[in-house]
């Protein structure tokens, strides 16, 4: 099979972790007889530096012409520390989501057994946790009308959603729940926000279409508490853009490291696969960043973009083995850490050496 992929390394540690993911993708492609074809594109601060815009037209054309996009990280402290900057790297990510129609971000939360001791939660709370967060990506406060008035002393951001936007993300969430444990949690703030009341209204109308799925409704502040108190109670969680941004980062801490969780952004055109962490500029160029989330994002790419489940399974097996053998970076093991490139080499070698009986 031909795997035509756009590679967007982005900023900070993006190039380093992407290099490791590409090692793994090449190893898996060779193992299973696929042809991996890829081309690099610019996004984020590096794109601003070279083109003046964080998501150039050439990058968008490349993404549209590809079967999948592997994306590293975005962000630069030059812009973080300048609130008056007219152009920001993060605008490239928002533009990519909007122009590619990426309306759903999928983030699985599954701790590694050998790393449960690193979670800030007690073992008995973390064991058996396995849920998926589905975040709406193209609506809400991030894309609503915004601005300043009263000589710049009053700022506003508008949280806007349409019925169609809510219905399409709920349909996807129900499809996920149907393939899992048949439970869907719709998270909103319907006791305060009009936009959330529309979310709940639409979800209540749709729930009878899925009688075999247990649909529950939860205010976002309660959800934030329950993710920490009883994370095993969740199966599929769906929510709007900003709530999803916050809750998924909170949920990621359950695993013990932000460097472990992948994500998929799916929608109308080409899907994008990326780690949930940021660009970590303090580590850029030091060969110390954790590449596992990026590598697991490649596993999701095989599964979601190409329906190649065995390939994704082998990558996960190799990652699990590397963690069990303590072939990990300093964020997981400070006593005897491996370099970013060492972890990538070890996982790629594991895949290359895997016996056919394992596949």
Which of the residues are catalytic?
A: 142, 189, 221, 245, 249
Cβ–Cβ < 8 Å for 38, 7: yes
The Cα angle at residue 331 between residues 329 and 334, in degrees rounded to 5: 75
Q: Strand, coil or helix: what is 216?
A: strand
Measured on CA atoms in the order 98, 88, 12, 334, is the torsion positive or negative?
Answer: negative
Cβ–Cβ < 8 Å for 270, 66: yes
The runs of H, that is alpha helices, within the chain are: 14-32, 45-51, 57-64, 77-80, 89-100, 123-126, 163-179, 194-206, 220-229, 241-252, 292-300, 309-324, 340-353
- For the chain, count helices (H), then strands (E): 13, 12
Instruction: Provide, for the chain, the percentages of residues in helix, strand and coil under a 3-state DSSP scheme, each rounded to the nearest 5.
Output: 50, 20, 35
Burial string for 91-113 (b: 16+ CB within 10 Å, else e) reads bbbbbbbbbbebbbbbbbbbbbe
Q: How far apart are CA 333 and CA 323, in angstroms?
A: 10
- Extract the tokens encoding 246: 């916050």
Q: Strand, coil or helix: what is 61?
A: helix
Q: Strand, coil or helix: what is 82?
A: coil
Q: How far apart are CA 283 and CA 172, in angstroms?
A: 36
Q: How far apart are CA 68 and CA 79, in angstroms?
A: 29
Cβ–Cβ < 8 Å for 63, 69: yes
- Extract the tokens encoding 319: 């990652």
Q: Which of 74, 52, 29 shows the shortest CA–CA distance to 277? A: 74
């Amino acid at each position: 099979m031909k795997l035509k992929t756009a590679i967007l390394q982005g900023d900070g540690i993006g190039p380093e972790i992407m290099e490791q993911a590409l090692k793994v993708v090449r190893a898996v492609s060779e193992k299973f007889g696929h042809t991996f074809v890829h081309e690099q594109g610019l996004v984020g601060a590096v794109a601003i530096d070279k083109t003046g815009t964080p998501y150039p037209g050439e990058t968008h054309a490349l993404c549209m012409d590809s079967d999948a996009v592997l994306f590293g990280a975005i962000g630069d402290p030059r812009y973080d520390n300048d609130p008056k900057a007219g152009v920001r790297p993060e605008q490239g990510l928002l533009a990519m989501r909007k122009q590619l129609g990426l309306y759903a971000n999928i983030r699985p939360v599954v701790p590694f057994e050998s790393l449960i001791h690193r979670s800030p939660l007690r073992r008995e709370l973390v064991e058996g946790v396995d849920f998926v967060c589905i975040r709406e990506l193209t609506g809400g406060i991030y894309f609503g009308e915004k601005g300043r008035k009263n000589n710049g002393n009053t700022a506003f951001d508008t949280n806007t959603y349409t019925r169609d936007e809510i219905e399409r993300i709920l349909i996807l969430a129900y499809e996920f729940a149907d393939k899992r444990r048949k439970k869907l949690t719709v998270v909103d703030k319907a006791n305060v926000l009009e936009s959330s009341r529309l979310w709940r209204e639409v979800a209540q109308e749709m729930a009878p279409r899925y009688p075999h799925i247990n649909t529950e409704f939860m205010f976002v502040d309660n959800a934030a508490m329950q993710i920490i108190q009883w994370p095993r109670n969740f199966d599929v969680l769906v929510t709007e853009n900003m709530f999803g941004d916050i809750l998924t980062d909170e949920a990621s801490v359950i695993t013990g490291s932000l460097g472990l969780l992948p994500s998929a952004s799916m929608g109308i055109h080409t899907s994008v696969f990326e780690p949930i962490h940021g660009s970590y500029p303090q580590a850029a160029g030091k060969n110390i960043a954790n590449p596992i989330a990026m590598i697991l994002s490649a596993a999701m790419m095989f599964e979601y973009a190409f329906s190649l489940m065995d390939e994704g399974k082998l990558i996960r097996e190799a990652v699990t083995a590397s963690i069990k053998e303590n072939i990990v970076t300093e964020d997981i093991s400070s006593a005897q850490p491996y370099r970013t490139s060492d972890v990538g080499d070890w996982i790629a070698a594991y895949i290359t050496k895997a016996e056919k009986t394992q596949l």
